[in-house]
């Protein structure tokens, strides 16, 4: 390395080697470097090296400086540059033109697989141009866009290791592929009508329907009110006309999906704005290369455009824009919003293999719009929303996976973090990078569990990684825990559920602090075997202490109490009023079946199948039932979501709630909350106002308890995690209140606060774990 003064003396010429680490494969990075080098009249080369992309650049020193600046500032939007290392050296003075070295070079580069990318504007323009050879071709792509993760069989990312291997490129495509000036230079999945995948239209029995244009056939079926299975990037969608209530109800019936909201795809941003209020930040998220489903507030005036059956009783609608060329063409032809929901029945994983899809979706879809490009990894659509101007991922899958999240510290050995049971995501750690899997659903479903085992093997294979450490939840009933315990020859790191939530929030924010952790959710296995879920911890990545929690109540029937919120309402009423509850003049008590209640209270008293719980989720359920929202739920958090949707914007007061101290722990007297709700009911206050006061009360409990814990611990940073903080109203009120009280607050952005974020927390804790350290 020579000091710059020496280089200046050699007539302003210089040479440098640049190492670029990060997601730089499958995103058009080398051609980008090539064009940039040409623009600055530099000689040298670019190639894949052991640790990333390597550039040798020689030329005028000022030109190299500008080249380096633009390398960072104008890199392809899908590239993720983690580190750029520049080493200056003496120039060679051989004026060779810049070239792309495509030889294997010095071994495999450090591989960061790229996520699937929405079709780009240039490809869309070609698709719309009747003079272009790819006019109306539904599988065009380039280095800036198209399938990646879902077609990759192995790395490095080359066509022969993707599901495009069986399609031989035609001479025209080959020419583009080999031309460094072409935007399809080394576009691995490139295709055209002459050489690429083709569409097919089939009936529900798999027989080919003799139509000239499968796309128009599918569009006609959709307009006629049929349900169409459409093969996408990461699996099949079930599509139907979102404006037709009868069809949407029929889809729900066939899918055995009673009430969960369904995602809707609209043709463009204007169409989205006709249905929902879309802020600038939400527009950016909708149009991002990841193209998640974005939760948006419905326009009240637009209630007729999309059938109520799409998202019953909810104020928000999950909208997404087309991200494959096929979806663009389909939306143009149908010209109305389409329900586009995962192709599965109930809680099963999304169908992605053609034969399997026919079997599993044959009884749901009337018609199949399929194609012959195989899908290697199944991947649902991601779900995100904007909270206070910042995007927040609620379900991390297509478009985000497998982008790594960096830890603050390096793991000594490769780690597998198994995640939880519901909304499972697992993670693999290499060095500082955590590669999280796509959302894999609820492992209680046997098919989902098998798909999970396959997904673990697939990602391990892709990253060529053999875990030496396995992190898992404490819950003995989780399938992911059982799997972890079966593994031999690895170090096991059991992680308490809520500790994992708080660690996840720390890792999500790239910090390594000791914090007050507020972990509120439905269910998490506690170190005492009880069902935790309304927890205050003092925690860092090494250990935690449970410094506060909700008062425990019985959860009669165990899981049945999750499905039937009326059970929790009765238990909380009893905790608040004792036997006098039976005389309360509220609708809930009037409709309570006395014999059912007697059975329940007896079981609760004796602790028979009635585990003690401090769950915040169950308190939401109880209040939703007291307000008459629902006594039974079809899916977890349904009652809480409806309670949030119902509440009026601003609370005029909060309920008085006692905070007690017991064995050095702050106990939140949650029956006080229920007493406040009941007094309002007796006074004739409306459910919408009570819902609002309830949310404000919970936010105030967060702030008051954290103040008390700050006085005791000196900690002034708070991490909010757990599924309850998906509740935007509660989250916002808590963040505002904590801010006013002088706290620094961490919330989630890259991974969800729900159990989909557990693996990241487990990974961060396991990366810190040392054998010799005793653990809480
Ligand atoms: Zn493109
Ligand atoms: Zn071709």
Q: What's the CA-to-centroid distance between 133 and ligand 2, angstroms? A: 9
Q: Which residues pair with 406 in a beta bridge?
A: 433
Share of the chain above pLDDT 70, in %: 95
pLDDT of 554 strictly over 90: yes
> Lowest mean pLDDT: which of 80-84, 478-482, 704-708?
80-84
Q: Are strands 236-241 and 228-231 parallel, antiparallel or unpaired?
A: antiparallel
Residue 345's pLDDT band, with cuts at 50, 70 and 90, is confident
Q: Do residues 155 and 161 make contact, with C-beta atoms less than 8 angstroms apart?
A: yes
Q: What's the CA-to-centroid distance between 549 and ligand 1, angstroms? A: 52
Tell me the two tokens of residue 13: 């010429």
Nearest residue to 425 (alpha-carbon basis) of 489, 364, 357, 508: 508
Report how far apart the first and last C-alpha atoms of the chain are (Å, whole number). 50
How many CB atoms neighbour CB 313 within 10 A? 14
Q: What's the CA-to-centroid distance between 114 and ligand 2, angstroms? A: 23
**Omega before 402 within 30 of 0, i.e. cis:** yes
pLDDT of 12 strictly over 90: no
Q: Do residues 639 and 565 make contact, with C-beta atoms less than 8 angstroms apart?
A: yes
Crossing angle of helices 497-508 and 758-768, in 10° steps, is 90
Q: Do residues 436 and 750 make contact, with C-beta atoms less than 8 angstroms apart?
A: no
Residue 2's pLDDT band, with cuts at 50, 70 and 90, is very low
Burial of 31 (0-12, 13-18, 19+ CB in 10 A): buried
Q: What's the CA-to-centroid distance between 113 and ligand 1, angstroms? A: 18
Ligand sitting nearest the alpha carbon of 78: 1
Q: What's the CA-to-centroid distance between 381 and ligand 1, angstroms? A: 20
Q: What's the CA-to-centroid distance between 435 and ligand 1, angstroms? A: 26
Q: What's the CA-to-centroid distance between 102 and ligand 2, angstroms? A: 21
> Lowest mean pLDDT: which of 346-350, 430-434, 443-447?
346-350
pLDDT of residue 362: 94
Ligand sitting nearest the alpha carbon of 145: 1
Could you give the C-alpha distances from 4 to 20, 54, 66, 219, 678, in angstroms and in order? 22, 21, 16, 64, 76
Ligand sitting nearest the alpha carbon of 164: 2
Share of the chain above pLDDT 90, in %: 79
Q: What's the CA-to-centroid distance between 54 and ligand 1, angstroms? A: 25
Q: What's the CA-to-centroid distance between 8 and ligand 2, angstroms? A: 49
Q: Are strands 427-430 and 415-417 parallel, antiparallel or unpaired?
A: antiparallel
Could you read off the pLDDT of 129-188 as tens digits, one per residue?
A: 999 999 999 999 998 899 999 999 987 778 898 999 999 999 999 999 999 889 898 899
Q: Are strands 659-662 and 383-387 parallel, antiparallel or unpaired?
A: unpaired
Ligand sitting nearest the alpha carbon of 324: 1
Angle at 24 between CA 18 and CA 30, to 5 degrees: 65
| Number of helical (H) and strand (E) elements in the chain, helices listed first | 24, 31
Mean pLDDT of all residues in 629-642? 89
pLDDT of residue 775: 44
Q: What's the CA-to-centroid distance between 236 and ligand 2, angstroms? A: 25
Calpha distance 23→623 (Å, rounded): 47
Q: Which residues pair with 241 in a beta bridge?
A: 338
pLDDT of residue 80: 83
Mean pLDDT of all residues in 549-556? 96
| HSE, side-chain direction, 13 A CA sphere, residue 394 | 17
pLDDT of 518 strictly over 60: yes
Q: What's the CA-to-centroid distance between 119 and ligand 2, angstroms? A: 17
Q: What's the CA-to-centroid distance between 170 and ligand 2, angstroms? A: 4
How many residues in total does the chain contain?
776
Burial of 405 (0-12, 13-18, 19+ CB in 10 A): buried
Q: What's the CA-to-centroid distance between 120 and ligand 1, angstroms? A: 4
| HSE, side-chain direction, 13 A CA sphere, residue 547 | 22
**Chain CA centroid to CA 664, Å:** 37
pLDDT of residue 150: 95
**Chain CA centroid to CA 375, Å:** 20
pLDDT of 348 strictly over 90: no
Could you give the C-alpha distances from 513 to 445, 541, 618, 662, in angstroms and in order? 37, 8, 30, 27
427-430 β-sheet, strand order: 404-406, 433-436, 427-430, 415-417, 469-473, 491-495
Could you read off the pLDDT of 675-685 as tens digits, one per residue?
A: 999 999 999 99
Helix (H, G, I), strand (E, B) or coil at 185: coil
Q: What's the CA-to-centroid distance between 378 and ligand 2, angstroms? A: 26
Q: What's the CA-to-centroid distance between 194 and ligand 2, angstroms? A: 5
The chain-wide mean pLDDT, for the chain, equals 92
Q: What's the CA-to-centroid distance between 40 and ligand 2, angstroms? A: 32
Could you read off the pLDDT of 682-734 as tens digits, one per residue?
A: 999 999 999 999 999 999 999 999 999 999 999 999 999 999 999 999 999 99
Tell me the two tokens of residue 485: 């315990």
Of the two residues 3 and 665, the one the predictor is more confident about is 665
Q: What's the CA-to-centroid distance between 137 and ligand 2, angstroms? A: 11
Could you give the C-alpha distances from 194 to 174, 190, 375, 547, in angstroms and in order? 12, 12, 21, 66
DSSP 306-323: S-GGGSTT-SEEEEE---
Ligand sitting nearest the alpha carbon of 175: 2
Q: Do residues 519 and 498 make contact, with C-beta atoms less than 8 angstroms apart?
A: yes
Ligand sitting nearest the alpha carbon of 134: 2
Calpha distance 526→747 (Å, rounded): 23
Calpha distance 767→412 (Å, rounded): 7
Could you give the C-alpha distances from 16 to 5, 81, 244, 363, 438, in angstroms and in order? 15, 18, 62, 62, 39
Helix (H, G, I), strand (E, B) or coil at 40: coil
Ligand sitting nearest the alpha carbon of 141: 1
Mean pLDDT of all residues in 23-51? 85
pLDDT of 1 strictly over 50: no
Q: What's the CA-to-centroid distance between 111 and ligand 2, angstroms? A: 28
pTM for the whole structure: 0.91
Crossing angle of helices 121-128 and 325-334, in 10° steps, is 50
Q: What's the CA-to-centroid distance between 331 and ligand 2, angstroms? A: 25
Q: What's the CA-to-centroid distance between 144 and ligand 1, angstroms? A: 5
Tell me the two tokens of residue 576: 């608040």
Could you read off the pLDDT of 227-276 as tens digits, one per residue?
A: 999 999 999 999 999 999 999 999 999 998 778 899 999 999 999 999 99
Tell me the two tokens of residue 616: 């915040």
Nearest residue to 109 (alpha-carbon basis) of 175, 163, 29: 29
């Amino acid at each position: 390395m020579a000091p710059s003064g020496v280089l200046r003396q050699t007539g302003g010429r210089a040479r440098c080697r640049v190492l670029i680490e990060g997601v730089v494969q499958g995103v058009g990075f080398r051609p980008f470097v090539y064009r940039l080098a040409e623009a600055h009249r530099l000689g040298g080369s670019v190639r894949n090296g052991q640790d990333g992309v390597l550039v040798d650049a020689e030329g005028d020193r000022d030109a190299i400086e500008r080249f380096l600046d633009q390398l960072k500032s104008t890199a392809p939007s899908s590239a993720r540059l983690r580190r750029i290392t520049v080493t200056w050296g003496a120039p060679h003075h051989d004026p060779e033109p810049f070239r792309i070295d495509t030889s294997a070079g010095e071994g495999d580069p450090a591989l960061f697989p790229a996520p699937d990318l929405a079709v780009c504007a240039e490809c869309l323009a070609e698709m719309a141009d009747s003079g272009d050879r790819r006019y109306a071709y539904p599988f065009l792509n380039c280095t800036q866009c198209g399938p990646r993760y879902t077609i990759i069989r192995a790395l490095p990312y080359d066509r022969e290791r993707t599901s495009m291997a069986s399609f031989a490129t035609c001479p025209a495509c080959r020419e583009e592929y080999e031309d460094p000036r072409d935007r399809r230079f080394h576009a691995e999945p490139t295709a055209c009508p002459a050489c690429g995948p083709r569409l097919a239209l089939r009936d529900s029995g798999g027989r080919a329907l003799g139509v000239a244009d499968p796309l128009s056939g599918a569009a006609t079926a959709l307009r006629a009110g049929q349900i169409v299975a459409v093969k996408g990037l990461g699996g099949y969608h079930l599509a139907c006309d979102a404006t037709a209530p009868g069809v949407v109800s029929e889809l729900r019936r066939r899918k055995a999906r009673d009430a969960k909201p369904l995602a809707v795809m609209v043709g463009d941003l204007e169409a989205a704005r006709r249905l929902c209020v879309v802020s600038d930040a939400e527009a950016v998220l909708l149009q991002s290369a990841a193209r998640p489903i974005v939760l948006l507030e419905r326009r009240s005036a637009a209630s007729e455009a999309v059938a109520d059956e799409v998202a019953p009783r909810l104020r928000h609608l999950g909208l997404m824009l087309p991200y494959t060329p096929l979806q663009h063409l389909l939306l143009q032809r149908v010209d109305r919003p389409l329900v586009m929901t995962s192709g599965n029945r109930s809680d099963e994983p999304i169908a992605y293999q053609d034969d399997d899809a026919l079997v599993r979706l044959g009884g749901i879809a009337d018609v199949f719009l399929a194609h012959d490009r195989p899908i290697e990894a199944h991947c649902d659509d991601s779900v995100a929303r904007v909270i206070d101007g910042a995007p927040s991922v609620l379900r991390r899958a297509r478009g985000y996976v497998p982008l790594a999240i960096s830890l603050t510290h390096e793991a000594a050995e490769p780690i597998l973090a198994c995640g939880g049971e519901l909304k499972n995501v697992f993670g693999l750690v290499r060095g500082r990078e955590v590669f999280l899997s796509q959302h894999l659903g609820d492992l209680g479903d046997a098919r989902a569990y098998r798909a999970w085992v396959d997904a673990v093997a697939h990602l391990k294979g892709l990253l060529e990684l053999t875990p030496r450490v396995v992190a898992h939840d404490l819950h003995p009933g989780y399938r992911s825990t059982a799997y972890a315990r079966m593994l031999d020859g690895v170090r096991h790191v059991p992680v308490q559920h809520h500790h994992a939530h708080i660690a996840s929030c720390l890792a999500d924010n790239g910090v390594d602090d000791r914090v007050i952790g507020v972990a509120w959710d439905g269910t998490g296995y506690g170190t005492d075997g009880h069902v935790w879920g309304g927890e205050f911890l003092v925690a860092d990545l090494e250990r935690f202490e449970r410094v506060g929690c909700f008062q425990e109540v019985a959860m009669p029937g165990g899981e049945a109490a999750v499905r039937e919120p009326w059970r929790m309402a009765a238990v909380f009423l009893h905790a608040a009023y004792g036997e006098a509850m039976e005389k309360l003049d509220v609708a809930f008590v009037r409709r309570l079946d006395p014999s059912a209640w007697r059975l329940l209270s007896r079981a609760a008293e004796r602790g028979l199948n009635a585990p003690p719980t401090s769950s915040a989720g169950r308190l939401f359920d109880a209040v939703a039932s007291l307000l008459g929202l629902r006594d039974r739920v079809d899916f977890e958090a349904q009652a809480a979501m409806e309670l949030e949707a119902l509440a009026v914007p601003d609370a005029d007061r909060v309920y008085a709630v006692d905070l007690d101290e017991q064995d050095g722990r702050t106990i939140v007297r949650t029956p006080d909350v229920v007493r406040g709700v009941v007094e309002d009911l007796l006074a004739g206050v409306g459910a919408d106002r009570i819902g609002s006061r309830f949310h404000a009360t919970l936010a105030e409990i967060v702030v008051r308890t954290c103040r008390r814990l700050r006085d005791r611990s000196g900690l002034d940073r708070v991490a909010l995690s757990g599924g309850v903080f998906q509740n935007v109203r509660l989250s916002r009120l808590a963040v505002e209140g904590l801010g006013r009280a002088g706290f620094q607050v961490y919330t989630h952005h890259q991974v969800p606060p729900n159990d989909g974020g557990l693996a990241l927390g487990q990974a961060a804790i396991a990366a810190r774990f040392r054998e010799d350290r005793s653990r809480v």
